[in-house]
Amino acid sequence: MNWIMNILIITFILLGLIKETFSQTGADAKALKEKIFVTDGYDYKIRPQQNQSAPIDVYINFYLLAINELSEVTETLKTTGYLWILWQDDFLQWNASDYGNLWQYFWPQGDVWRPDIALKNSFTDYKALGVDTLNVMVESTGHVQWYPFQVFQSTCAVDITYYPYDIQTCKLEFVAWSYSKAEVNLMSGAKGIDLWEYESNSEWEVLDTNYTTEAMTYEAQIVFTIKIQRKPTYVLLSVIMPIIMLAILNIAVFLLPCESGEKASYAVTVFLAFAVFLSIISSTLPENSDTIAVFSMYLIILTLESTLITLTALVLIRVSTFDQDGTPVPRLLMTGLNFLTCKSCCCKKKNKVKDKKDEDDIWSINKTTIEEIPCDDETKPEGTWRDVVNAFDKIFFIFYILVLAVSTVVFFVVVSTNKG
Ligand SMILES: *[C@@H]1O[C@H](CO)[C@@H](O)[C@H](O)[C@H]1NC(C)=O
Ligand SMILES: *[C@@H]1O[C@H](CO)[C@@H](O)[C@H](O)[C@H]1NC(C)=O
Ligand SMILES: *[C@@H]1O[C@H](CO)[C@@H](O)[C@H](O)[C@H]1NC(C)=O
């Protein structure tokens, strides 16, 4: 589509050139300048309206070229774009046939009156639009068209509640700063906010745009709204995946036997890696106390889990030394653990299978006799502290995996159902 547009534009420009070069001479242009700025005494400081008590209608379109960056930390949106601004200047009119059909001319923007439009919610200082070397296009009818091009840095209240599936609505508020609504009337052009030259961004997708001219303010204003949605793939792969992997590594501490002597250092090392990683991530999120991101809650839960895992591992190491002290294992604890780790029920099941096979198939007698496992646990529930620690390792491994799985699933369900 773009190349068709380009060809059309080039054709129009060429046609325009042919038309302009028709009969115009440098003398015509000089005469026109003489007429407007010397004879008529055009002054850019005067609002160009014959009737000074009527407002001047200014039409604005915003052409968004690119979204450069949305910073969550400073809460700013950086966009590149240009405005198309049109108004009627009563003092910049001439009869084209008097000047060799010179029907349009470009004047430096500083030479003609312009509405002092500026970005109100700018993150930087108040800055006039455009630069002095930029020209405005003036037609013999008095229509002035101005295309100030700029990088706009606007403030944008970033709501990261549903990070990384968040949708942000940012505004660009343009006001005619020193004119009241009765003097300058800002209106939207036919396009409003236009995306036909927009270059897509790898991080953000534009969902919707809109504009409004209703304002509660003294000065006229036009507000362009851009609704963008984060593409979550990068965050999922480079932030959330490593966190989940570290959390799994952390839980793997319960696979290490206490005798290896590595359990404590392993738990603390993974906890440290986790803590460092989390502090890096939290520095990329805004310091916001109004809303707490679901993602932050998830991180807090994971940090809590990691702390508890480290604590549990340390306690278990301590417990594993009780055997040397000769402390007996309480019978109730052992029975409870056997029940929890399902030792007795597994044993029962196996015996049952054996019995069944006996009835069906006489050939299985030999096989099952070999497979038969003695059920020590049922008959002797007392064991060593070593067994207690092993049982707890199993229980905690499963427990923490469950906590991780549930919190991860809940996090993704809450966050990905965000509809903005
Ligand atoms: C000037 O504009 C005002 C406001 O629109 C209007 O009331 C008034 O009649 C106009 N005057 C002339 C001379 O057109
Ligand atoms: C423009 O100038 C031509 C020739 O000088 C004249 O015939 C015509 O009426 C003028 N038009 C206007 C709108 O003044
Ligand atoms: C744009 O804003 C107007 C109000 O200013 C509203 O009526 C309209 O529905 C909005 N359009 C979209 C697509 O949101």
CA 294 to chain centre: 14
pLDDT of residue 141 exceeding 80, the answer is yes
Please state which of the ranges 103-117, 200-214, 218-232, 362-376 shows the lowest mean pLDDT.
362-376
Ligand that comes closest to the CA of residue 49: 1
For residues 197 and 210, what is the distance between their CA atoms, to the nearest angstrom?
Answer: 17
Ligand 2 centroid, distance to 403 Cα (angstroms): 86
pLDDT of residue 5 exceeding 70, the answer is no
Ligand 2 centroid, distance to 33 Cα (angstroms): 18
For residues 67 and 49, what is the distance between their CA atoms, to the nearest angstrom?
Answer: 37
Mean per-residue pLDDT over the chain, rounded: 84
Tokens (6 digits) for 171: 């505004």
pLDDT of residue 374: 54
Ligand 1 centroid, distance to 49 Cα (angstroms): 11
What percent of the chain has a predicted confidence (pLDDT) above 70? 85
Summarised one tens digit per residue, pLDDT across range 329-387 is 888 888 888 777 766 555 555 555 555 555 555 555 555 444 545 555 444 556 788 88
Atom of ligand 3 nearest to the CA of 214: 5
CA angle 160-165-171, nearest 5°?
Answer: 55
Atom of ligand 1 nearest to the CA of 55: 5
Contact 207, 227 (CB under 8 A): yes
Summarised one tens digit per residue, pLDDT across range 57-98 is 999 999 999 999 999 888 999 999 999 999 999 999 999 999
For atom 10 of ligand 2, the residue with the nearest CA is 95
Ligand 3 centroid, distance to 99 Cα (angstroms): 46
Give residue ranges with CB within 6 A of ligand 3: 208, 210, 212
Atom of ligand 2 nearest to the CA of 95: 1
What percent of the chain has a predicted confidence (pLDDT) above 90? 47
Atom of ligand 1 nearest to the CA of 52: 1
Ligand 3 centroid, distance to 212 Cα (angstroms): 8
In the chain the domains, ranked by start, together with CATH numbers, are 39-231 (2.70.170.10), 234-329+383-416 (1.20.58)
Contact 176, 117 (CB under 8 A): yes
pLDDT of residue 225 exceeding 90, the answer is yes
pLDDT of residue 326: 80
Ligand 2 centroid, distance to 97 Cα (angstroms): 7
Beta-carbon contacts of residue 254 (< 8 Å; ≥ 6 apart): 309, 313, 393, 394, 396, 397, 400
Atom of ligand 3 nearest to the CA of 208: 13
Exposed, middle or buried, 402 (CB in 10 Å: 0-12/13-18/19+)? exposed
Ligand that comes closest to the CA of residue 185: 1
> What's the whole-model pTM score?
0.77
pLDDT of residue 281: 84
